[in-house]
């Protein structure tokens, strides 16, 4: 794999920002000195069908969901000097999970706007005809000035009508809706569930249905005897905000918000943000 100082096309790599199982993300500059985030696929072998498929699908979906306010900016994707790459906007900040763990004031002092912008990012994706299917605090970046960007579209799919069963179970079990874990038909309302889990976690610092594996998470989702309403953990929450989070976490998709724009509207009303 390339290292710091290497040049791929017009981009010079400077600093490794993040490394996961399938890709690395580098801070890079182009020939004009502008900063970008360059994501490089780690396994680009002949037989890496799943990895290449996800990488390409994620890149194409990101390109289709462009928005100046809530979605990470797309620049280009393809091969750069033989390396499969996605070039994106560079955001100087951290993901919501890291900020929550650190008790960072950029999150805690702007939590109302963060929740609204988070839901607004999903609204953009859904309005473009896609479901993200990997919604979680780790996949939301927040800059030092409070600007939010949704990232990582590798699991995204077109919204089916009617809902459709997924070919395989992919994602993070703690944020997956019951219908996903039960291998039942899924649509964009699985993202609304995942937003509810994320919002609960951001507001209480714990997950609503904790578990070590998918089976344990599902058991807690279906048997809610151990479920704690968010206001029991954070008494400062407005009753309206608890109602919104609980509606996102309804067991049956038909009882959740039908479309994300309604969720965004109610969040704005509840949190008094115009």
- How many Cα atoms within 13 Å fall on the side-chain side of residue 1? 18
Quickly list DSSP for 123-136.
Answer: HHHHHTTEE-S--S
Specify whether the CB–CB gap between 40 and 26 falls below 8 A.
Answer: yes
* pLDDT mean over 207-236: 95
**Which stretches does DSSP call E strand in the chain?**
7-8, 11-19, 23-29, 35-41, 74-80, 83-89, 93-95, 130-131, 140-143, 148-150, 157-158
Instruction: Considering the candidates 30, 104, 127, 134, report the single residue annotated as catalytic.
Output: 134
- Burial class, 208, CB count within 10 angstroms (exposed 0-12 / middle 13-18 / buried 19+): buried
Q: What is the mean pLDDT of residues 117-121?
A: 98
The SS3 assignment for 256 reads coil
Task: Provide, rounded to the nearest whole percent, the portion of the chain with pLDDT above 70.
Answer: 97
Question: 273 pLDDT exceeds 60?
Answer: no
Q: Answer whether the bond into residue 162 is a cis peptide, omega within 30°.
A: yes
Q: How confident is the model at residue 46 (pLDDT cuts 50, 70, 90)?
A: low
In the structure, what pLDDT confidence band is assigned to residue 47 with cuts at 50, 70 and 90?
low
Output the pLDDT for position 272: 78
- Stronger pLDDT, 42 or 189, i.e. the higher one: 189
CA-CA distance, 141 to 18, in Å (whole number)? 13
Tens digit of pLDDT for each residue in 131-174? 999 999 999 999 999 999 999 999 999 999 999 999 888 889 99
Active site residue 104: no
In whole angstroms, give the CA distance from residue 94 to residue 200. Answer: 19
Q: Which residues of 80-94 are buried (b: 16+ CB within 10 A; e: fewer)?
A: beebbbbbbebbebb
Question: What CA–CA distance (Å, rounded) separates 33 from 170?
Answer: 38
Provide the whole-model pTM. 0.94
Q: Is 72 left (phi over 0), alpha (psi -120 to 50) or beta?
A: beta
pLDDT at 19 over 90: no
Average pLDDT rounded to a whole number, residues 101-111? 96
> Binning pLDDT at 50, 70 and 90, where does residue 42 land?
confident
Backbone phi, psi, residue 235, to 5°: -70, -10
Residue 255: pLDDT band with limits 50, 70, 90: very high
Please answer whether residues 62 and 71 qualify as being in contact, where contact means their C-beta atoms are separated by less than 8 angstroms: yes
> If you average pLDDT over residues 117-123, what whole number do you get?
98
Q: Among 201, 199, 164, which Cα is nearest to 183's? A: 164
Confidence of residue 20 (pLDDT cuts 50, 70, 90): confident
pLDDT surpasses 80 at 12: yes
What's residue 34's pLDDT? 97
Chain mean pLDDT for the chain: 94
**22 vs 93, more confident:** 93
Which tens digit of pLDDT belongs to each residue from 49-87? 788 889 999 999 999 999 989 999 999 999 999 999 999
**Are the CB atoms for 242 and 271 separated by under 8 Å?**
no
Q: For the chain, give the longest Cα–Cα distance.
A: 59
| pLDDT at residue 240 greater than cutoff 70 | yes
- Walk across the sheet containing 148-150 and list its strands: 93-95, 140-143, 148-150
Confidence of residue 1 (pLDDT cuts 50, 70, 90): confident
Determine how β-strand 148-150 pairs with β-strand 140-143. antiparallel
């Amino acid at each position: 794999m390339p290292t710091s100082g290497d040049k791929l096309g017009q981009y010079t790599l400077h600093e490794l920002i993040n490394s996961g199982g399938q890709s690395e993300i580098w801070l890079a500059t182009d020939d004009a000195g502008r900063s970008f985030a360059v994501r490089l696929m780690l396994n680009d072998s002949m037989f890496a069908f799943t990895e290449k498929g996800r990488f390409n699908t994620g890149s194409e979906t990101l390109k289709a969901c462009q928005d100046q306010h809530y979605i990470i900016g797309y620049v280009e994707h393809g091969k750069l000097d033989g390396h499969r790459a996605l070039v994106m906007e560079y955001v100087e900040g951290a993901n919501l999970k890291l900020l929550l763990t650190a008790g960072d004031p950029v999150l805690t002092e702007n939590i109302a706007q963060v929740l609204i912008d988070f839901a607004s990012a999903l609204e953009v994706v859904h309005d473009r005809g896609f479901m993200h299917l990997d919604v979680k605090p780790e996949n939301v970046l927040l800059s030092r000035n409070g600007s939010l960007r949704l990232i990582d579209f590798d699991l995204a799919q077109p919204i089916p009508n009617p809902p459709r069963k997924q070919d395989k179970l992919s994602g993070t079990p703690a944020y997956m809706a019951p219908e996903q874990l039960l291998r039942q038909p899924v649509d964009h309302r699985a993202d609304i569930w995942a937003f509810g889990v994320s919002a609960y976690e951001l507001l209480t610092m714990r997950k609503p249905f904790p578990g070590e594996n998918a089976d344990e998470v599902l058991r807690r989702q279906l048997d809610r005897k151990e479920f704690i309403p968010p206001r029991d953990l954070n008494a400062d929450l407005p009753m309206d905000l608890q109602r919104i989070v609980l509606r996102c976490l309804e067991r049956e998709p038909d009882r959740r918000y039908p479309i994300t724009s309604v969720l965004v509207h109610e969040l704005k009303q509840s949190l008094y943000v115009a």
